[in-house]
Amino acid sequence: MKKRFIGVMLSTAMAAGLLAGCAGGNSTATTAATTAAGAATEAPKETTAGGGEGLLYWTMWEATEPQGQAIQMAVDKFTADTGIKVDVQFKGRTGIREGLQPALDAGTNIDLFDEDIDRVNTTWGQYLMDLEELVKASGYEANANAGLMSACREVGKGTLKSIPYQPNVFAFFYNQAIFDEAGIKEVPKTWEELDAACQKIKDAGYTPITCDDAYITAMFGYHMARLLGEPETEAIVKEGKWDDPAVLKTAQAYEDFAKKGYFSETIASNVWPAGQNQELAMGTAAMYLNGSWLPNEVKDMAGEDFKWGCFSYPALDGGKDGTNASNYGAQVLAINKNSKNADNAFKLIQYITQGEFDKKMSEMSMGIPADSRNAEWPAQLASVKPVMESLTVRYPWAAGAEANADLTPIIKENFMKLCGGSITAAEYVDALKAAGK
């Protein structure tokens, strides 16, 4: 479902100096509260995690990731300051997506957890606590990003049930050096301009666009949503209405690019992270439709001199949505509606998403800050800021292309074939029709 920010609220918050990062923990319970470093006074007496006032926190991050490390720092400081022990369970993406709901259904005493804004509020919405009173009582919104808080209320069906951190945006990321060498002076704003840019990049001896199995459905979804808007795209995917002319039109646009040699020669077989690691970061491919987390993921391979560029998916002639529409949002923290320690859980959320540890997460993960007081963005994301500030229409993940989980593998497999040139646009549509029978 398309979500709309209040543009002025978003722009104002961004201009003030957006968003914030988190702090980390390890997979075992946080170290017992001890005398704080350099402090002469005895640390507060700690409580037991998962009982009394202690907290059990499931996170999507691994303990070794920068985000996880930042979260651990915040948790350690929280425990030292309050004496409240926190058992941080670093589940990783697969662990939390497969394990959280069964654990909650079984009555596991999980006080708070985090994941993507849409997954938390939609997939796990029935488990969330209303946070409006806690936010109001703490004055939390005084320094929060207004646009992202608004987005959390929208996906929460009008009520705030999650707190955003580590904001992100999904767009085309590119190698500025290749653009410069190819003589591209401005980022493409229309499909025709993207076509022209791809030809210049190809003529300069580079691969214009790469992708892989993790993100290729987004290319299909974004093109469809540019033509029809996201709600109609989602309806087509959910209901299998593959006879809609926009489906063939989207496939034809990508068939054309494939025939012109604009895609990586290995795009049909690229398994993540092949496209980003072996092509984009290595300087052989110019563009990749991905998220603002990308520069951090490839920083060791791309090197410090890699100059990042970013632009929104181009507008299409006669289409409904323009470059002001994209999937943007954040990871979010939520409190289990059955938690007995909501006040303490919310205090921990404040440690993670504001001030010192928001700043640390931004720096450590090369991410966008969430606290409006943390005005400085990582240099690698400088080109992302104007894109994010321009967005007023919010798409869910993949712009609706993955709205039907049963069909996602079919869409993915055949779109990779289409981009690889092994099937035509008509054959792509036929494959989708056949899957729906």
Q: How far apart are CA 96 and CA 114, in angstroms?
A: 9
Which band of pLDDT confidence, cut at 50, 70 and 90, is reported for residue 87?
very high
Tokens encoding 412: 């993915």
Taking residue 204's Cβ as centre, other Cβ atoms within 10 Å add up to 16
Which band of pLDDT confidence, cut at 50, 70 and 90, is reported for residue 375?
confident
Residue at 94: amino acid letter: T
Q: Which of 51, 120, 98, 131 is nearest to 341 (CA)?
A: 51
3-state secondary structure of 163: strand
Q: CA 16, 366, 24, 53: dihedral to nearest 10 degrees?
A: 20
Helix (H), strand (E) at residue 14: helix 7-17
pLDDT tens for 404-427 read 989 999 999 999 999 999 999 999
Q: Is the pLDDT of residue 302 over 60?
A: yes
Among 139-148, 177-186, 428-437, name the most confident range.
Answer: 177-186
Residue at 111: amino acid letter: D
Predicted pLDDT of residue 29: 32
pLDDT tens for 352-362 read 999 999 999 99
Q: How far apart are CA 254 and CA 290, in angstroms?
A: 17
With tokens 């899957």, the residue in question is 435
Which band of pLDDT confidence, cut at 50, 70 and 90, is reported for residue 13?
very low
Predicted pLDDT of residue 436: 74
Query: What distance separates the 2 farthest-apart alpha carbons in the chain?
Result: 74
Whether residue 132 contacts residue 101, with contact meaning beta carbons closer than 8 Å, is answered with no
Q: Which of 106, 66, 58 is nearest to 348 (CA)?
A: 58
Q: CA 296, 300, 306, 311: dihedral to nearest 10 degrees?
A: -30
Predicted pLDDT of residue 52: 58
**Complete domains list, the chain, with CATH:** 3-167+328-383 (3.40.190.10), 169-326+391-435 (3.40.190.10)
pLDDT tens for 337-347 read 999 999 999 99
Q: How far apart are CA 301 and CA 246, in angstroms?
A: 38
Q: Give the E-state strand segments of 23-144 in sequence order.
A: 55-59, 86-90, 112-116
